[in-house]
Structure 1
Amino acid sequence: MLATNFGKFTYKNPFMNASGVHCMTIEELDELASSTAGSFVTKSATLEARAGNPEPRYTDLPLGSINSMGLPNLGVDYYLDYAIKKQQEMTQQAPFFFSVAGMSVAENIELLKKIQESDFEGITELNLSCPNVPGKPQVAYDFPLTDQILETVFGFFTKPLGVKLPPYFDLAHFDEMAKILNKYPLTYINSINSIGNALFIDPATDSVVIKPKDGFGGLGGEYVKPTALANVRAFYTRLKPEIKIIGTGGIRNGQDAYEHLLCGASMLQIGTELQKEGPAIFERLTKELAAIMKEKGYQSISEFHGKLKTID
């Protein structure tokens, strides 16, 4: 009932973790792999291990979360070794996802070359919501640079590849980015990353709640769901059909998941709520989504996928 088609693969359900949540160590990744989730993605890896930003760098908020993690991870070799061994254990299942997020464009290229030359045969996610040069926006807000990077990448990378995107807020930007993305053989896009540079104040202390960047951080959870749905829908109606969409942002229950699928997402990543509840959340979400589908008379996701109604 909950099976979802994603390119040439079929997953038992659309749920997975968002990269960065419950995926730092082999132990956490194994917990995801053995959970009810349809798939999982590794921690976004850099070439070398990173400690990340100083604590506190993540805080739960009334309607979500704010973070400035600084890409803490154990280095690409740690995750790549795990991924290659894990795929041998999971030969009968659809492939999982491997995330990279270099601290520069050059590092991203080097990371992808390493994966291309490896025995990993799963799906790679390139995070384009990453730093650029000082004084410039993150890569995916620099349209010419994004085009240049994808042209370079697909000059050598032949394995399934998707890109993680930040939220866009202008229809012209959806048009411009979709035009770029449609030029390349992408497997998918992941939309959205957190809404950047939010600020939350503790009313008891008159202080920000995270230490890095004087309290500025990425906003996630319920706060961002309307923006996430808008981005999923905007790209679903603009991208060529073979580029699938992972919907990320504000999924707390089955109804949130249903709405992402209705807007055109094929897979769903859970971040803030996974951080709060742990991997047991996937069992709850699958039951809630199945109950909504049953109530509406749907036997499969394909019956309502992308079929959002508008008002004449």
Structure 2
Amino acid sequence: MSPFRSLFYITSGGCILCTGTNFITFNDKFYKKYIIPFFFMCDPEQAHSLLIFSGKYGLIPKSIYKDPPMLKTKLWDISFNNPIGLAAGLDKQGEITKALYNVGFGFVEVGSITPLPQPGNEKPRVFRLLNSQSIINRYGFNSDGHDVVFERLKNLKLHQNFDGIVGVNLGKNKESKNAVSDYVEGIKKFASVADYFVINISSPNTPGLRDLQKKNALKGLLSNIIEARNEYCGEHKIPLLLKISPDLTDQDKKNIADVINDKRYQVDGLIISNTTVKRVEVYDNPNALEPGGLSGKPLQETSTKLIAEFYKLTHGAIPIIGVGGIFNGQDAYAKIKAGASLLQIYTSFIYNGPSVLINIKKELECLLREDKYNSIADAIGADCKK
């Protein structure tokens, strides 16, 4: 073999090894320089489909990062390896739940899932706002439906040696005449595979959905859902969470708190918050005027403030999952100190890849240690108790 050929093989091998190492270790600079730009060459929905394809065919590496013991937490008798979950909207159809959990999330939320299959809104329906690291979507609950998603989750739980935590986010069909029935049917269908349920009544992309957050409508909805949960989940009552909008009026907030503080309608947790229809600080971005829900950095302050408000309105008695604009450990820590027991990310994962998850966990551990906390639980609501 000639020296030049040998040099070629050695150099090529070194490049492949280096690339592979950076890929499987979720190297931050590597992902931002190569992987994310590759995905961003596609339009947002094509990139989403490419991610789903990658997860289905084993192209998403499993994280080798070990979660610090300090980040372990327990809620609803469920033990979480870390408090950072993946919000609903990415694994809408339960297709790559295991692959995403293996990236290092503490839990993965699937959905929103509607009883009957529906295509959602017309395309294009997803838009990047690069200048503000945010996304506008108006998917409109595109869903494969209860039956298909249930079979996927049943197969995951029964046949894939999977012990991860899966939340099932339920929605209603756009043309449904009975929203309450849609959510009740979801409880019945997924009772055997869900680790927790989310009642999504706050998406801005299904006409009339947010009206279910009004006081009397919410009472009727929750009374029926809680009854179904208690009947179909047996002695192990699966936690029931309510996902609310960041666009609530002060009276809306008080009304929701009044309902869920009532033992008859009390849920096990809140997810704060969904996307916003407001466009604060994003009007210099192309696509800013597209209709739909805005997620990402512009939502960070709004969602953190809303977490603190509901922590106080519920006297810290109802656990909160904080979501909205978490891009680093400080963002995560602010939500915990505002009253969140767990957290979720979505947009920051799209913009940064899995490296953002490791960075958030590392930074969060440092911040807890700096303030001499021994666990996440010790810091929950700290800013509301001053």
Q: TM-score, normalised by structure 2?
A: 0.70
1:142 lines up with 2:211 in the alignment: no
Q: Which residue of 2 aligns with 1:12?
A: 81
Q: Output the CA distance in 2 between the equivalents of 1:271 and 1:161.
A: 21
Deviates more, 1:96-105 or 1:39-48: 96-105
Deviates more, 1:235-244 or 1:263-272: 235-244
- Give how far 1:115 is off: 3.3
- Give how far 1:35 is off: 1.7
1:209 lines up with 2:287 in the alignment: yes
**2:110 partner letter:** T
1:57 lines up with 2:125 in the alignment: yes
Q: 1:141 to 1:80 in 2, by over 3 A?
A: same
Q: Which residue of 2 aligns with 1:162?
A: 241
Q: Output the CA distance in 2 between the equivalents of 1:74 and 1:290.
A: 38
**2:149 partner letter:** Y
Q: Output the CA distance in 2 between the equivalents of 1:44 and 1:301.
A: 28
1:260 lines up with 2:335 in the alignment: yes
1:109 lines up with 2:181 in the alignment: yes
Within 5 Å, give how 1:1-312 maps onto structure 2.
1-21=70-90, 23-61=91-129, 62-63=131-132, 64-88=134-158, 93=163, 95-103=165-173, 104=176, 106-116=178-188, 118-130=191-203, 138-158=210-230, 159-183=238-262, 184-196=265-277, 198=279, 209=287, 215-239=290-314, 241-308=316-383
- Give how far 1:250 is off: 0.7
- Give how far 1:89 is off: 6.1
Conservation of the 8 A alpha-carbon contact between 1:35 and 1:280: no
Q: Which residue of 1 aligns with 2:20?
A: none
Q: Which residue of 1 aligns with 2:58?
A: none
Q: Output the CA distance in 1 between the equivalents of 2:155 and 2:212.
A: 32
Q: Which has the higher helix share?
A: 2
Conservation of the 8 A alpha-carbon contact between 1:220 and 1:250: yes
Alignment root-mean-square deviation, CA: 2.9
Q: Output the CA distance in 1 between the equivalents of 2:227 and 2:322.
A: 27
What SS is found at the alignment partner of 2:157? helix
What SS is found at the alignment partner of 1:125? strand
Q: Output the CA distance in 2 between the equivalents of 1:176 and 1:40.
A: 30
Conservation of the 8 A alpha-carbon contact between 1:163 and 1:189: yes
Q: 1:83 to 1:280 in 2, by over 3 A?
A: farther
Unaligned runs of 5+ in 2: 1-69, 231-237
Q: Output the CA distance in 1 between the equivalents of 2:167 and 2:206.
A: 28
Conservation of the 8 A alpha-carbon contact between 1:187 and 1:242: no
Post-superposition Cα deviations, 1:283-311, rounded to whole Å, max 9, x if no partner, equal 22211211222233322112211110578
Q: Output the CA distance in 1 between the equivalents of 2:331 and 2:204.
A: 30
Unaligned runs of 5+ in 1: none
Deviates more, 1:51-60 or 1:81-90: 81-90
- Give how far 1:178 is off: 0.3
**1:122 partner letter:** D
Q: Output the CA distance in 2 between the equivalents of 1:110 and 1:217.
A: 23
**2:267 partner letter:** L
Bigger-Rg structure (1/2): 2
- Give how far 1:30 is off: 2.1
Conservation of the 8 A alpha-carbon contact between 1:10 and 1:94: no
Conservation of the 8 A alpha-carbon contact between 2:138 and 2:205: no
Conservation of the 8 A alpha-carbon contact between 2:339 and 2:384: no
Q: Output the CA distance in 1 between the equivalents of 2:205 and 2:86.
A: 26
Q: 1:166 to 1:106 in 2, by over 3 A?
A: same
Q: 1:25 to 1:307 in 2, by over 3 A?
A: same
Q: What is the count of residue pairs matched by the alignment?
A: 302
Report 1 or 2 for greater relative contact order, CA contacts < 8 Å, sequence distance ≥ 6. 1
- Give how far 1:25 is off: 4.8
What SS is found at the alignment partner of 2:121? coil
Deviates more, 1:87-96 or 1:245-254: 87-96
What SS is found at the alignment partner of 2:71? coil
Q: Output the CA distance in 2 between the equivalents of 1:230 and 1:176.
A: 18
Q: Output the CA distance in 2 between the equivalents of 1:24 and 1:93.
A: 20
Q: TM-score, normalised by structure 1?
A: 0.85
- Give how far 1:107 is off: 4.3
Conservation of the 8 A alpha-carbon contact between 1:101 and 1:108: no
What SS is found at the alignment partner of 2:228? coil
